[in-house]
Each structure stands twice: as C-alpha cells, then as structure tokens.
Amino acid sequence: MRIIDHHIAGQAFAAGTRTSPVFDPNSGQVQAEVRLAGADLLEQAVAAARAAQPAWAATNPQRRARVMFRFKELVEARMDELAHVLSAEHGKVLADSRGDIQRGLEVIEFCCGIPHVLKGEYSHGAGPGIDIWAFRQPIGIGAGITPFNFPAMIPMWMAGVAIATGNAFILKPSERDPTLPHLLGDIFREAGLPTGIFGVVNGDKEMVDAIIAHPDIAAISFVGSSDVAEYIHAQGCARGKRVQAMGGAKNHAVVMPDADLDQVVRDLAGAAFGSAGERCMALPVVVPVGEATADALRAKLLPAIARLRIGTSTDPQADYGPVVTAAHKAKIESYIQMGVDEGAELVVDGRGFTLQGHEGGFFVGPTLFDHVTPAMQSYREEIFGPVLQIVRAADFEAALALPSQHQYGNGVAIFTRNGHAAREFAARVNVGMVGVNVPIPVPVAYHSFGGWKRSAFGDIGQHGMEGVQFWTKRKTVTGRWPDGGVGDAGSAFVIPTMG
C-alpha cells in the first residue's frame, strides 16, 4: 500500500501514528494511506520555515519572481502527469483537472509580476523638508488549509501570493486527495525555492487546531465548509492572527424571459453538473422568471440532461466522473431524498446510477428538481453534488430576493439580453461575485476572489491585490533631513502638521 508522508524542508517526512484512506473514486477501492499528524510535526515544519523565511524576505522581488516563472514552466511541462494524479484521487475528468491546474497557474502568472505590485508609495515634500514613503513587508509564516475539490488551484492561489511576497508557507491539504499538493512541493524545490519556504503537513482537525494555536503562524487562509470557516476565523482572530476563511455556497442563476434559453441550458449543464457539482462556484439553483420561462427552460433541460455522459475520470468522452468518497455520495443522495420528502418534484433521479465495470465507484447521476421553495432545507443548504433545483419566481423582484436573502453569498448569475435589468441586478444583489451571462463568475487572477455572508469570513479576498494585502503588512516612513543637522530644531510640544 502506498503511504503518503509529509513534505518538510524539501523532502518527504514520515510522522504520525494515525492514517486515513485515499480512495480511487472510480472503483471505490483504497489506493493509498496518508499519515495524519499534529502539533509535534507542525512544529518541525514551522522551525524549517522560521529558519528560512528571513533570507527569503530579504531576497529581492525580481529573484522571487524568477522562482515563480520557473515553477510555472515546470508545472506546464508536467501538466498531463499532474492531471492524471489529480483525477485518480479526486474523480474529476482529466479536462477538468487540467483546468484546475491552469486556474492555479494563472495566479502564479500574476505572482511573476510581484516586483511591480510591491513598488509602494512615495510623497516628496509632504511637509517642510519631509518625505513620506510606504512599502509592504511579508507577515512571516502563513498557513493554508485547502479543500478536496481543488487540490491544485487553491493551494497555488494561496501559496503563490504568500511566497512571492516573501513569506514562508505551510499547507495542510485535504486528506482525501493529498498527493498533488506534495508534488507541488517537489516542483517548488526544483524551481529554486529555498528549503523550508514551502511545507506540506497532513492531518485532520488535530492539525487544524495546531495551526490555529501556533504562535509563529501569523496568517491562515482557509477554503471549505462554512461551519469550519467560521470556527477557524473566530479561533484564529482570537489569537491575533490574520484570517481569511471561505465557506460554502448556494449559487443562483436567474433567467429572465428574454434570455437565450439554448445558451442558458448549455451553461447550466456545465455549471451545475461539471465536476459532479463539487465546486463552490457551481450553479445548483436556477431561477426562471415567469411560468412560461420556467416551463420552456425545463423542457430544454430534460434532453440536455439525458445527453450527459457520466464516466471514469480518464474517459475523454465523459462530462463528469465520480464524487470523491462513498460518504459524500451517501450525503448527496440523502439530500435528494430530503427534497422528495419536502414536496419538491423530482424530475430526474440520479440515485442508483452505476457504471458497467465500475460498480463500486462513487457515481451519482444528474438530478433535477422542480417546484423547489425557499422554505425547503434542501434549498437552504449546500448539496455539493450533481443536483439542480428549479425555484420559480413570479417577477424580477422575487428573483432578486432569492440569492439576496439566502444565507450564502458566494456567486450569482443573471441571464438576459436587457442591459438595464443586468445593471440593476448587479448593483442590488446581495452576493459577492456576479456573472452577467457568465455562469461561473470566478474573477481572473489579477482581480480578487471572495463571497459575502456565510460564504466568507474575514474582509480580504484571495489572490489579486487583496491577496497581496493579506500576506503583507504596510509600513509607512516619515523622514526629514534638516539642512543644519538634526540638533538645530527646537522641541515641539504639539502634534506635528505638514502645513
């Protein structure tokens, strides 16, 4: 049985008496065991980071950028290999795994421009003989706690900006699919990153609590469920740490009567069912405005759903593959039963789907509900599977209210040809990321990612300029060089002004 160890000081590190199984979602069989550790192992990773970080922070930013350039080149050269590793543990199809890696690399590309981003501010002559300048310095040691659904993208979102700005970074990946994050550590080392700047520690809640408690970890970035995000944010902030914690989602797609329904259906098929719905930016709720729109949309959705092909993660013809574990499959199917019990109309039932030759795999067929209401628990909570719910709205105001009043506020989309409706919706909807005829509105790398309400805890988003702000602290210097020497000025007993 393959054993997945930790990655500390540039090499594999065996520690921990407990293990957790890593499954092959296509077959249901255990393919590896990952060692789980806690505070003792974390201390060794922190010690390595503490020893290496000052010299890395003192390295000029263009040299740090060269490591990012080289890392990008190495990942691109190994794209197919890395995609196969990702798919083998997660279950998403290879094309989706390549997209996972590519979206991470886009943030690395942004980090290649870190010398420009860190230029700072300068005011000459802010007062008599006084200049003021401000610059950003690294916070020291940061930690990232990442989810199973994007084992490449989200670690690169966090680690890229943290490392490029001069910090050391310790990653705790999901124990469900940990191999790829360890390979990223090998690639960083090959790219020239100094030993100790990037470490990977495997664990569960014990490791999370150790990260929160460690006094030398200055900042924590998290992506996962909202309950855990809230816990990490509260506990981390109580200990004086900087915390960004991204939680769950229940993204809505509002479909206006004038929308191009053929395009809407194409977008929904990918956004609702792609990656088996295991995305925080998936579109699991569609809100057609008016009964005629709802009936027409449903009629077009049915054949599109029937055409979806579910296959193994290596099947090039598959639209999506299995979910990550048997437990997650059972959870998704329990939500489908919940929707039935609550009175929603089950139009397409994905339970009981099996793939010939892979009967033990964790497959869930596409599922469609109609006549879902806001009072239903299956609507209020995140399902995180290939389940699409139709919630009918009488008019624009009712459609606007649904995502605005939901507990989650990660992403939302509106489909319309009407510019005024789109502008009004984007301005008024109480959601952090909005798409106009764009089903998955994840910002590009030089903008920042982050939702509202229970989708995000903390005020600073990921990557882009907010990511730079999160992983650095600003220092402002006010300087004066008097002509006659420092001792010529008299004492001042009032607050200085620049007038």
Nearest partner of 91 among 31, 138, 43, judged by Cα: 31
Which residue in the list 111, 112, 237, 280 is annotated as catalytic? 280
Please give the DSSP secondary-structure letter assigned to residue 275: G
Distance, CA of 310 to CA of 97 (rounded, Å)? 16
Q: Using an 8 Å Cβ cutoff, are 37 and 14 in contact?
A: no
* Dihedral pair phi/psi, residue 103, rounded to 5°: -65, -30
Distance, CA of 93 to CA of 309 (rounded, Å)? 11
Q: Using an 8 Å Cβ cutoff, are 248 and 408 in contact?
A: yes
Residue found by looking up tokens 């009407």 in the block: 418
Query: If DSSP codes are grouped into helix, strand and coil, which group holds residue 471?
Result: coil
Q: Using an 8 Å Cβ cutoff, are 21 and 29 in contact?
A: no
Q: Using an 8 Å Cβ cutoff, are 90 and 151 in contact?
A: yes
Q: Which residues contact 193 (CB under 8 A, 6 or more apart)?
A: 67, 71, 163
Looking at the DSSP bridge assignments, the partners of residue 121 are 134
Copy the structure tokens of residue 339: 């929707």
N- to C-terminal Cα separation, the chain:
73
Residue found by looking up tokens 């309950």 in the block: 227
Assess whether 111 carries a catalytic annotation: no
Strand ranges, E, within 229-284: 242-246, 252-255
Residues recognised as catalytic:
280
